[in-house]
Amino acid sequence: MRILVCNDDGIDAPGLGKLWEAARLVTDDVWIVAPDGKRTAASSSITIARPLTMRQAGERRYSCSGTPADCVVTAMSWLFNDQPKPDLVLAGVNDGRNVAEDLAYSGTLGIAREATFWGIPAIGFSRVKEPRQTPADIHWLTGFIRRAWEERRKWAEAGHWLSVNLPADLPASIRQPRIGRDKIGRSADVLNEENGVTTLIVPRGRDHSSSKGDENDLIDLGHVCVNRLNWFGESKLDQGFVGSLAN
């Protein structure tokens, strides 16, 4: 079994190391391709028609100058071009939860989404800030990865991936939450205004909005939250409405 591990926090991020350790207990065929720096909120963007730099940082370990999703693209199109592709892609462990609108913004989940474009099952892991980490965390992650792989036919249909949010303490019970609303990027701070040019910054952070049964609620109660996501979320339109558009 071959596993590819990527992230959006960068090649030296502690969460990437934890996920690599867990994956190594599943198989010895584990590869890392991660950005050369932090790429928060990069979503699923990829770099087209511009150079990308890949640097070998160790055995089966590479850094990429591009986005989190670029790490998957370069792995599939270059690193594994003439050898077997990974059986599973793991993303994370992200430094902070990915909830609500983060499902669209997250570079961690952008990795998982990109993997499904290549027909590969994928899981994105995220965890609350400043968790209470213990050696048991690796054991729990390893068990989760093994069980998810064994049960992949139940969740890894074409275009689907898993988003897993970890609470402060592991082990923990697992729940499927309702997707809430807790948008980042709600404000902007002006840094400078001069000659018709305004320089501003959108600060980090969120309101931490929550309602009963959503991700923030269940994570704060100490549960692991698992959502099954897909990129082709098509819903049928009312035929009367469709007809009205044609008139």
pLDDT in tens, 64-98: 999 999 999 999 999 999 999 999 999 999 999 99
pLDDT at position 59: 96
Q: How many domains does the chain have?
A: 1
Asked if residue 234 has pLDDT above 80, the reply is no
Owner of token pair 């064994």: 150
Q: How far apart are CA 25 and CA 103, in angstroms?
A: 28
Residue 200's CATH number: 3.40.1210.10
Tokens of 65: 């100058």
Residue closest to 5 by CA, chosen among 65, 71, 67, 83: 71
- pTM, whole model, 2 decimals? 0.92
Look over the chain and give the mean of its residue pLDDT values, rounded to a whole number.
Answer: 94
What integer is the mean pLDDT of 180-189?
89
Domain that holds residue 147: 2-246
Sheet holding 122-127, edge to edge: 54-58, 61-64, 29-35, 2-6, 88-95, 122-127, 160-166, 224-230, 174-175
Of residues 126 and 186, more confidently modeled: 126
Cβ-contact 225, 176 below 8 angstroms: yes
Q: How confident is the model at residue 220 (pLDDT cuts 50, 70, 90)?
A: very high
What is the signed CA dihedral for 146, 151, 154, 155, rounded to 10 degrees?
Answer: 10
